Structure 1
Amino acid sequence: MERTHYERWIEDCINHDSRYGKFTLDNIRNYQYKKIRETMDYAKKNSPFYREKLKGINSYDIDSLNDFAMKVPFTTPEELANKPLDFLCVPQHMISRIVTLKTSGTLGDSKRVFFTENDLERTIDFFHNGMKYLVSKDNRVLILMPGDYYGSIGDLLKKGLERLGCSALILGPVEDSLKVLDMLNLRDIDCIVGIPVQIYQLARFKSSNEKYRGIKLKSVLMSGDYVAKSIVKVVEKAFNCKVFTHYGMTEMGFGGGVECKCISGYHLREGDIYFEIINPISGEVLPWGNEGEIVFTTLTREGMPLIRYRTGDKGKFKTSSCKCSILPRMDYVKGRILEEVRIEDVNIDIGTLDEAMFTIDNLLDYKARFKKGNIIQIWVKSMDPKAPVNQYEIEEALKESLIGNLIREEKLIIEYCGEMEDIEISTGMFKRKLLFYLF
């Protein structure tokens, strides 16, 4: 098996010397174990929060990754929101970028995430190497994500692409799909990077308008939200190219993992982040292949290291090897642990609904709200308002999904609520979710 550039990059990150044997998963885990202990020492020394959080827990008492999971407590988003400055490990004059994130679970408090110049450089390096799967020298890339500010995701991605010899143009989140399609025509773009639903909308408009039928791309990367397979199929067909997905969040330093050309899960940022999957109730680390909550520990973060940080995202590791390398993979992240409802033995979340709803040809977007009485209210935005998406189309699409039997047996009621006034322009900071109204 020919080794990929991404695998070679991870090998370089962990300073593996090939003279001492073949690069293996054990090399990665040994490196991560070492870096976890270093991170614990660094955080306890420099962060008031971790000095108290890890009181009585010494890195030299951690003798394995399993021991780390047994002895070291989780860090929660609520703790980060309550006292963000207490997480800092460097003087504030060393901070190059601050990102403020609203959170619904802390009575209006905001999470603030701090990055030094070295932290930003690590992310640029990840983007530089991860994007090699999608593009090559002299390709033109259109970035449909926020990039107005220094250290923003668009800015960091642009810098990573320029190191590849690509030209990158930051346009920002899509506000007018037709204007973006015009730009793809005029600028001879090879690759676009953007938020899944916004790229899906581009694909729908392209497929319905003869003017844009000739647009073809080399690749598409979707990031900033969960990605339904139904969205991927629409985009692949419209642009006649491979569609890659990326998983990350601001707290990770924007980047967490990216797909290779096999399109079968995320290859993780193993040199900078250690991932675990836990039982969200007991906190126990789950065996590979079991779905649970994603938890991560930063290994190289300078400004604000995070140790066993609970993301609230639902995911699992893939048990089979990728065709391209020895690197482990995470399966596609499908939603939030706390943003789902269970009816009988079926879990319903935004990912379940997305898979069905985005198969409707005339649908641009929708929002859904769960209401007492096992009712899901749905509002839609139709591409052609003269022939709007209707109740029948919605029910027929949902009957083909995991919740189909619940609908047929009238254990779940779909309530069509009409057209949305406008499509919300997402920046990727807030992910799509199933809303709840329990009164």
Structure 2
Amino acid sequence: MKPCVLDDWIARECGGPESLPLPVRVRAAQMRLLRRTLAHAAAHSRYYQKTLAGRDLRIDSLEELARLPFTTVDDLRRWQDFLCISQGDVRRVVTLQTSGSTGQPKRLAFSEHDLQRTIAFFAVGMTQLVGPGQSLLVLLPGADRPDGVTDLLRQALSPADVRVEGGNPAATPASLRADFERVQPDTVIGGPEQLEALLRAAADDSVLHAAACRLRGALSSGGVFRPELQERIAATFSCLTLDHYGLTESGFGGGVQCPAREGRHLRELDCLVEIVDPVTGDPLPEGRVGELVLTTLQREAMPLIRYRTGDAASLLPGPCACGSPLHRLGPVPGRYVREGDDVVLRAVPKGAGL
């Protein structure tokens, strides 16, 4: 089995002596980027100027990072306090409705540099599913907004002679047939809802079924991709099916499966992941399910430090069957929700704002 395509990309970017194991080189690069992120945020973000004031930011390990305070969804509602660049240098602002204590939306800002980091991730990760001269159909809700996921994928893949087209995320039988006739895709990206709708529609439409059976691959993003659904799509259409974990806070891209499908390989130099106890906030070891906490690396406009995503997940121990020795994100079964004094896990999909 071929090694994960992300490993070579990460190895090139992290530098360091090639004689050292890749995980050692990656961790050293992460700590360098983390210290730079902390200095950037403490100098330019009104929010982090307050929360990081008086703290030692010369961090060399995850254990030391755990001493810093969390950032929460409620904090993001004061999004302008997080900005580290002028509003004139912001390329895109994404507004997400949430169900938190105030009901006010949270906003995430991205610079041109931030979006280019995501484009680089897409360009590498998507080579597993689509290649030169082929076409990609994107069915994700909201993906066709300016600088949205469809546009970022187009910028990532057009240089490799891949045609990227948006489709109707409603994914009705009629819209799916129309989109497949128009695009004739080799690969399709959608949320679990769109991919399941394709499976149902193809069962009743022989023309759509024949078109879907020409798929090279299918990628699920923006929700919980149940293993049984993933297997049914792979078996029905005889294509490679992979799962992607990402959220707006991570810059859309987060982690993607390789063909071994033993967890999602992470953007190690852009997303630093911790797993913590959802009640106490204490760090948990590899293999234990807890709340995913995200620190963004190389983020220019609006870095996030120890952001509590609410998502339940684990970091898988041991190397992947593809041979990659780097971290992998395990299944994301749902979200932790606070109900009074209790924290409960709700097995519901988490949609990403696109």
Q: Compute the TM-score of the two structures, normalised by the length of structure 2.
A: 0.92
2:164 to 148, 162, 168: 168
Give the aligned partner of residue 91 of structure 1.
86
Shift of 1:349: 3.5
Once the 2 structures are TM-superposed, how far is the Cα of residue 172 of structure 1 from its aligned partner? 4.3
AA of the residue aligned to 2:193: V
Aligned with 2:292: secondary structure? strand
1:165 Cα deviation after fit: 2.1
Question: What is the rounded CA distance, in whole Å, between the counterparts of 2:351 and 2:327 in structure 1?
Answer: 30
The aligned residue for residue 265 of structure 2 is 267
C-alpha separation in 2, matches of 1:164 and 1:333: 32
Counterpart residue number, 2:64: 67
Question: Distance between the aligned counterparts of 2:345 and 2:71, measured in 1?
Answer: 27
The C-alpha deviation readout for 1:386-425, integer Å capped at 9, x for no partner, is xxxxxxxxxxxxxxxxxxxxxxxxxxxxxxxxxxxxxxxx
Give unmatched runs, 5+ long, in structure 1.
341-346, 355-425, 431-439
Shift of 1:177: 2.9
Partner of 1:290: 288
Superimposed CA distance per residue, residues 120-152 of structure 1 (whole angstroms, 9 cap, x where no aligned partner): 000111111111111111111111123333221
Q: Which moved more, 1:197-206 or 1:211-220?
A: 211-220
C-alpha contact 1:195 1:428 (8 A) present in aligned 2: no
Contact map agreement 1:11 1:23 (CA 8 A) in 2: no
Shift of 1:162: 1.5
Structure 1 residue 163: deviation in Å?
A: 3.0
1:311-349 CA distance string (max 9 Å, x none): 000000111311222222111211101189xxxxxx873
The match for 2:331 is: 332
Q: Which residue number in structure 1 is paired with residue 38 of structure 2? A: 40
1:429 aligns with 2:353: yes
Q: Which has the higher contact order (CA 8 A, sep 6+)?
A: 2
Q: Is the 8 A contact 1:276 1:295 kept in 2?
A: yes
Query: Unpaired segments of 5 or more residues in structure 2?
Result: none
Q: What SS does structure 1 have at the residue aligned with 2:337?
A: coil
Alignment of 1:53-202 (within 5 A): 53-60=51-58, 62-69=59-66, 71-81=67-77, 83-145=78-140, 146-185=142-181, 187-202=183-198
Separation in structure 2 between the aligned mates of residue 96 and residue 294 of structure 1, nearest angstrom? 27
2:224 alignment partner AA: Y
String of CA shifts for 1:94-125, please: whole Å, max 9, x gaps: 00000001111131211010000000000111
3-state SS of paired residue (2:137): strand
Shift in Å at residue 233 of structure 1?
A: 2.5
Structure 1 residue 31 displacement after superposition: 1.1
Query: Contact 2:122/2:253 (CA < 8 Å) preserved in 1?
Result: yes
Distance 1:2 1:262 in 2: 9
Structure 2 counterparts to residues 164-313 of structure 1, below 5 A: 164-185=160-181, 187-215=183-211, 216=213, 217-313=215-311
**Cα separation, partners in 2 of 1:256 and 1:427, compared to 1, 3 Å:** closer
Structure 1 window deviating more from structure 2 (241-250 vs 231-240): it is 231-240
SS of corresponding position for 1:99: strand
Distance 1:311 1:84 in 2: 16
Give the secondary structure class of the aligned counterpart of 1:25: helix
> Partner amino acid for 2:192?
P
Greater alpha carbon shift after TM alignment, 318-327 vs 289-298: 318-327
What is the CA–CA distance in structure 2 between the aligned matches of 1:429 and 1:208, rounded to whole Å? 31
Query: Matched residue of 2:219: which SS?
Result: strand
Aligned AA for 1:338?
A: V
Aligned twin of 2:317: 319
| Separation (CA, whole Å) in 1 of partners of 2:283 and 2:196 | 35
Structure 1 residues 63 and 7, CA, compared in 2 at 3 Å: closer, same or farther?
closer
Indicate the SS of the match to 2:325: coil
* Count of residue pairs brought into register by the alignment: 346
Native 8 Å contact 1:128 1:163 kept in 2: no
What secondary structure, in the 3-state scheme, does the structure 2 residue paired with 1:149 have?
A: coil
Q: Cα gap change, 1:115/1:348 in structure 2, threshold over 3 Å: closer, same or farther?
A: closer
Q: Which residue of 2 aligns with 1:409?
A: none
Q: Is the 8 A contact 1:339 1:349 kept in 2?
A: no
Larger Rg: 1
**Aligned in 2, Cα 1:270/1:243: closer, same or farther, shift over 3 Å?**
same
SS of match in other structure, 1:59: coil
Residue in 2 that maps onto 1:368: none
CA distance in 2, matches of 1:207, 1:298: 42
Alignment-mate amino acid for residue 328 of structure 2: R
> Does the Cα contact within 8 Å between 2:222 and 2:352 map onto a contact in 1?
yes
TM-score, reference length from structure 1: 0.75
Counterpart of 2:107 in structure 1: which amino acid? Answer: R
Give deviations 1:27-71, integer Å, cap 9, x for gaps: 1111111211111111000001000011111212x34221111x2
Q: Is the 8 A contact 1:248 1:257 kept in 2?
A: yes
**Corresponding residue for residue 8 of structure 2:** 8
Counterpart secondary structure, 1:338: strand
Q: Taking structure 1 as reference, are residues 219 and 3 closer, same or farther at Cα in structure 2, changes over 3 Å only?
A: closer
Q: Deviations over 1:184-243 (max 9, x none)?
A: 245431000011111101111102333333221100001011111122123223322121
Q: Does the CA-based 8 Å contact 2:316-2:327 persist in structure 1?
A: yes
1:350 to 326, 347, 352: 347
CA contact (8 A) 1:206 1:238 kept: no
